[in-house]
Chain A
Amino acid sequence: MASTSTVAAQRPASAETATVWRPARLHRRDWLWALLFLGPNLVLFLAFTLGPMLYGFGVSFFDWNMLQPARFVGIGNYVQFFIGDQLTGKVVGNSVYYALGALPASVLIPLGLAVLLNAGVRGTGLFRSIYFLPLVASVVAASTIFKWVYAKDFGTINQITGLFGIPRQDWLFDERLVIPALIVVSVWHRIPLNIILYLAALQSVPRALYEAARIDGAGAWAQFRHVTWPMVTPTTFFVLIITVISLTVGGFDQVSVMTQGNPLNASNIMVFNIWRTAFVYFQMGYASAMAYLLFLVVLLFTAVQWWLQRRWVHY
């Protein structure tokens, strides 16, 4: 209901824009101005992003340890990943577990908290500041603290659970517990940004929609379901995209500080494995190949989400 009216209300503006827009032609003077403003960024992008990316793609076809001349191996590194590396299954499994485990909580908890914060309860300003704190803490510092929080011998969690007679757990050195322990930290660190995004979205929902819903007899849940949720689907889509990307290509600093992939590779996720292969094992070609495979996976996920968004995102 409300979503339909909102979509209808927004459509004319975008449709108007679409009809006015024409392929732009740049005059020489405009072109110079464009270059002046975009040039520095383009140069930096080419030098430090696109260039190394393409260089890394080239390296992925070589066996290279940085010290000796590179040896062309064709797609050998890619083949090795699929059929020659005993760790592949475990690392991919860990990565999927980590990403899928953290994704729902990273989206739903911020949405719930944002709704509560947006409700105007007393002390909202204080709560906003508290929830914002994890964002300003560096991942390395936070991971170091959490390493101690999780420590079997002296960690806070075991001290608290010990008060209730629960045996101490080796959170970061137990193959069953280490990924869930990492997921908790990951979610904790992602919550603030997603709260901010959701808060911004919630505050742009016209009050009139809620008033109309209340007049129609909608309760709190019905308002959320038929007003709030449809109105924040564009933000949810954005949050999903950035969270999936950050969970897939992120997590390195967390694993590096907290577990180093231990125990027995139980927390060895793809991005950490790439780093270790490159800078501990000095297999630059194989690491580059894995990085490109990871890139393709992220690209695929993002493309699928873009395709699916037509079915559930309301603009």
Chain B
Amino acid sequence: MSQSPSGSAEHVLTRRGLLRVALLSAGATLAAACSQPTPPVTNAPPTSAPAAAPTQSGAAPPAGAPTQAAAAPAPAPTQPGSSAPAQQAPASSTGPVEVSFLTTQTNDADVKIYQQLSDKFHQENPNITVKISATDGTNYDQKLLTYIQAGTLPDIVQTSDNFAKPFKDAGVTQDMIPYAQKTNFPYMDFDPTFLNLGMVDGQLHMLPKEGDIILPFINLRMAQEAGVSPPTDFDPAKNPDGWTWDDFMNMCKRLTVDANGKHGDEDGFDRDNVAVYGASMSIDAWYTYVPAVLANGGTFVADDLSHSTLNSPEGVAAFKRLTDPVIQGYWAPLTLIQSLSNQAGNVFAAGRAAMAPLQRLWCTTLRASLTDDFDVLHYPKGPSKRITGMGTFGFALTAKSKQPDAAWQFLTWMYGEEGMSIITASYAAVPAMKRFYDSSFWRDLPPPPHSNAVFVDSFVYGTTPPRLPFYSTGDFRQSVTDGMTAITLGKSTPEEVVANVDQVLNKYLKDQQSA
């Protein structure tokens, strides 16, 4: 390259000079990088003193005004118990307002429901547009943390029991009790079990969208062909000791059919060539193994979360009870579940299993993909008691919401009768508010399933996940998955696996206490 006509030396850059500048820049960046990384989020500013845990009779209000008070809706109370805050105008919005709403339910049917909610709400509240967006739930927490960093956190986000505390701590969500109180939203009408999943330190960080409980779904055609009479009219209130785990396993064996047409309870059954499994179970999911331990009369963790209590004869028996049927060929093997997107329900939906413990959420998929009639049963009673997993996910107002009033207005409408009618019309949800337990808008939907009462009658024996620091216990969960896999592959015994899981869990509980 030729020199410039001016030839002035001070304007000439040599490669060496350029390299020097580049090295200095890189060094400076490296030095900056080696400084202590700043957490991407800061904790939310301290809010009010923790209120008492909500009870049926009503929660004590927060002692002080929340820090978000400035953004709280202007007092325009409706009648107590009413859930019609849609009549209120948002305090801070005089013109058109857009509310952003993020869900992790990405399939078309779910997105369509949320869009219907948005459209209907907009019809009634022309000033407010709710923009629905859906993102895959993988690394959801990380995505929200990134949104915070970018300043693009939506006004309303989906959350769950496991995320309620981490999201509060990370400043993702905010306490919704002040909003509920100012708008007389009857949040105490939520079933307390579900409501408590969203309560963190006396603050409400999740409005439960639905009541999810794990119940055995059964393929009625397969039952009929196997000569099985599923207890669809069983009532545990009338017969507490009826419909036991042994009954359930006998039914599983009978429903299992090998490639030669032999049932699981017949001589010559070939467990290596099974055409239809009796059941498909997510044995490494908390909602399966935790209730299994409790149903055996054992406990999972000490009440004060100080240590694990899993390593007990009851714990070992529970792990054995969950893995033996897989080894014997009565339940779908883990490899088949893995082949079908790691969802035990997919095996049932594909007609490869006659039963599967699932939540109502699956009804939409099953009605679309399973050509056979199906129904739902109560969970069978274990040696000690009848218990199954229950939980929910829900929605929360974010701490960085730009339109908290309008967002809250949409939430209260969504949780009212109109919103719930739209949500439950897809068969995907059971209302989590007690006043809707008997509502015809979801109870009288055409079958299948036929026995809708089971979905709410079973709430009395459901258990929610233990309050473990699940958020940071990836390797604990992995130890359960690996342990169950090792047992079914004959690489380990239930005793060894339970001892290992217990050890990993104790490590986390100890870390949590020391933190």
Per-residue CB proximity of B11-50 to A under 8 Å, as 1/0?
1111100100000001001101111111111000000000
Decide if B37 touches A25 in the complex (CB within 8 Å). Answer: no
Decide if A265 touches B482 in the complex (CB within 8 Å). Answer: yes
Q: List 14 A-B contacts (CB under 8 A).
A: A23-B14, A25-B3, A25-B14, A26-B1, A59-B37, A61-B34, A64-B37, A67-B41, A70-B37, A151-B335, A154-B339, A175-B489, A264-B491, A281-B472
Q: How far is the CB of A6 from chain B (nearest CB, A)?
A: 32
Chain A residues in 8 Å Cβ range of B169: 67
Q: Within 8 Å of chain A (Cβ to Cβ): is B151?
A: no
Which of A48-56, A116-124, A189-197, A306-314 makes up part of the contact surface? A48-56
- Of the residues A28, A67, A152, contact of B4 by C-beta under 8 Å: A28
Q: Within 8 Å of chain B (Cβ to Cβ): is A94?
A: no
Question: How far apart sit A70 and B170, CA to CA, in the bound complex (Å)?
Answer: 14
Decide if B170 touches A264 in the complex (CB within 8 Å). Answer: no
Instruction: List 11 other contacts, CB 8 Å, given A67-B39, A67-B166.
Output: A23-B14, A25-B3, A27-B1, A27-B3, A58-B30, A58-B37, A61-B34, A155-B339, A173-B333, A173-B334, A264-B485
Chain B residues in 8 Å Cβ range of A29: 4
Chain A residues in 8 Å Cβ range of B11: 27-28
Question: How far apart sit A92 and B12, CA to CA, in the bound complex (Å)?
Answer: 50
Closest-by-CB residue of A relative to B275 is A153
- Of the residues B30, B142, B166, B342, contact of A54 by C-beta under 8 Å: B30
Closest-by-CB residue of B relative to A170 is B335
Per-residue CB proximity of A46-90 to B under 8 Å, as 1/0?
100011001111110110111111101000000000000000000
Question: How far apart sit A213 and B162, CA to CA, in the bound complex (Å)?
Answer: 72
Question: How far apart sit A263 and B474, CA to CA, in the bound complex (Å)?
Answer: 17
Instruction: Please give me the 6 A-B residue pairs with the lowest Cβ-Cβ distance, nearest first.
Output: A173-B335, A58-B33, A27-B4, A281-B474, A54-B33, A280-B474
Q: How far is the CB of A96 from chain B (nearest CB, A)?
A: 22
Per-residue CB proximity of A256-296 to B under 8 Å, as 1/0?
00011011110000000000100111100000000000000
Q: How far is the CB of A291 from chain B (nearest CB, A)?
A: 14
- Of the residues A61, A62, A72, A262, contact of B485 by C-beta under 8 Å: A262
- Of the residues A28, A67, A263, A276, contact of B489 by C-beta under 8 Å: A263
Chain A residues in 8 Å Cβ range of B254: none
Q: How many A-B residue pairs have CB under 8 A?
A: 128
Chain A residues in 8 Å Cβ range of B166: 67
Per-residue CB proximity of A91-112 to B under 8 Å, as 1/0?
0000000000000000000000
- How many positions in chain A have a CB within 8 Å of any CB in the partner chain? 50
Question: How far apart sit A68 and B29, CA to CA, in the bound complex (Å)?
Answer: 24
- Of the residues A50, A151, A175, contact of B339 by C-beta under 8 Å: A151
Q: Within 8 Å of chain B (Cβ to Cβ): is A166?
A: no
Chain B residues in 8 Å Cβ range of A64: 37, 39
Decide if B36 touches A62 in the complex (CB within 8 Å). Answer: yes
Q: How far is the CB of B484 from chain A (nearest CB, A)?
A: 11
- How many positions in chain B have a CB within 8 Å of any CB in the partner chain? 48
Question: How far apart sit A70 and B1, CA to CA, in the bound complex (Å)?
Answer: 50
Question: How far apart sit A252 and B493, CA to CA, in the bound complex (Å)?
Answer: 31
Question: How far apart sit A70 and B40, CA to CA, in the bound complex (Å)?
Answer: 11
Q: How far is the CB of A68 from chain B (nearest CB, A)?
A: 7
Q: How far is the CB of A271 from chain B (nearest CB, A)?
A: 16
Decide if B352 touches A153 in the complex (CB within 8 Å). Answer: yes
Residues of A within 8 A of B (CB): 23-31, 46, 50-51, 54-59, 61-62, 64-70, 72, 147-148, 151-155, 170, 172-173, 175, 259-260, 262-265, 276, 279-282
Given A173-B335, A276-B474, is A57 in contact with B4 using a C-beta cutoff of 8 Å?
no
Decide if A70 touches B39 in the complex (CB within 8 Å). Answer: yes
Chain A residues in 8 Å Cβ range of B334: 173, 262-263
Decide if A148 touches B339 in the complex (CB within 8 Å). Answer: yes
Q: Majority SS of interface residues in chain A?
A: loop
Chain A residues in 8 Å Cβ range of B139: 279
Q: Within 8 Å of chain A (Cβ to Cβ): is B91?
A: no
Q: Residue among A29, A55, A67, A69 with the most chain B CB within 10 A?
A: A67
Chain B residues in 8 Å Cβ range of A70: 36-39
Q: How far is the CB of A134 from chain B (nearest CB, A)?
A: 22
Chain B residues in 8 Å Cβ range of A57: 30, 33-34
Chain B residues in 8 Å Cβ range of A50: 26, 29
Closest-by-CB residue of B relative to A22 is B1
Chain B residues in 8 Å Cβ range of A152: 333, 335-336, 339
Decide if B36 touches A72 in the complex (CB within 8 Å). Answer: yes
Chain A residues in 8 Å Cβ range of B425: none
Closest-by-CB residue of A relative to B491 is A264
Closest-by-CB residue of B relative to A57 is B33
Q: Within 8 Å of chain A (Cβ to Cβ): is B475?
A: yes
Per-residue CB proximity of B80-110 to A under 8 Å, as 1/0?
0000000000000000000000000000000
Q: How far is the CB of B140 from chain A (nearest CB, A)?
A: 11
Chain B residues in 8 Å Cβ range of A281: 472, 474-475
Chain B residues in 8 Å Cβ range of A279: 139, 142
Question: How far apart sit A66 and B471, CA to CA, in the bound complex (Å)?
Answer: 11
Q: How far is the CB of A60 from chain B (nearest CB, A)?
A: 10
Q: How far is the CB of A162 from chain B (nearest CB, A)?
A: 10
Q: Within 8 Å of chain A (Cβ to Cβ): is B486?
A: yes
Q: Within 8 Å of chain A (Cβ to Cβ): is B338?
A: yes
Decide if B338 touches A172 in the complex (CB within 8 Å). Answer: yes
Q: How far is the CB of A165 from chain B (nearest CB, A)?
A: 13
Mark out the residues of chain B between 471 and 492 whose CB falls within 8 Å of any chain A CB in the assembled complex: 471-472, 474-475, 478, 481-482, 485-486, 489, 491
- Of the residues A26, A147, A263, contact of B13 by C-beta under 8 Å: A26
Chain B residues in 8 Å Cβ range of A172: 335, 338-339
Closest-by-CB residue of B relative to A52 is B33
Question: How far apart sit A246 and B29, CA to CA, in the bound complex (Å)?
Answer: 28
Question: How far apart sit A152 and B332, CA to CA, in the bound complex (Å)?
Answer: 12
Decide if A27 touches B39 in the complex (CB within 8 Å). Answer: no
Chain A residues in 8 Å Cβ range of B41: 66-67
Question: How far apart sit A255 and B491, CA to CA, in the bound complex (Å)?
Answer: 22
Closest-by-CB residue of B relative to A261 is B478
Chain A residues in 8 Å Cβ range of B40: 66
Given A66-B40, A173-B335, A260-B342, is A27 in contact with B30 using a C-beta cutoff of 8 Å?
no
Q: How far is the CB of B413 from chain A (nearest CB, A)?
A: 32
Q: Residue among A28, A56, A148, A260 with the most chain B CB within 10 A?
A: A28
Question: How far apart sit A266 and B338, CA to CA, in the bound complex (Å)?
Answer: 15
Per-residue CB proximity of B136-154 to A under 8 Å, as 1/0?
0001001001000000000
Chain B residues in 8 Å Cβ range of A61: 34
Closest-by-CB residue of B relative to A59 is B37
Question: How far apart sit A48 and B351, CA to CA, in the bound complex (Å)?
Answer: 47
Chain A residues in 8 Å Cβ range of B26: 50, 54
Question: How far apart sit A61 and B338, CA to CA, in the bound complex (Å)?
Answer: 36
Decide if B34 touches A23 in the complex (CB within 8 Å). Answer: no
Chain A residues in 8 Å Cβ range of B39: 64, 66-70
Chain B residues in 8 Å Cβ range of A26: 1, 12-13, 18
Decide if A24 touches B15 in the complex (CB within 8 Å). Answer: yes
Decide if A67 touches B336 in the complex (CB within 8 Å). Answer: no
Decide if A173 touches B29 in the complex (CB within 8 Å). Answer: no
Question: How far apart sit A68 and B32, CA to CA, in the bound complex (Å)?
Answer: 20
Chain B residues in 8 Å Cβ range of A46: 29
Closest-by-CB residue of B relative to A147 is B339
Question: How far apart sit A46 and B30, CA to CA, in the bound complex (Å)?
Answer: 12
Decide if A25 touches B1 in the complex (CB within 8 Å). Answer: yes
Q: How far is the CB of B514 from chain A (nearest CB, A)?
A: 13
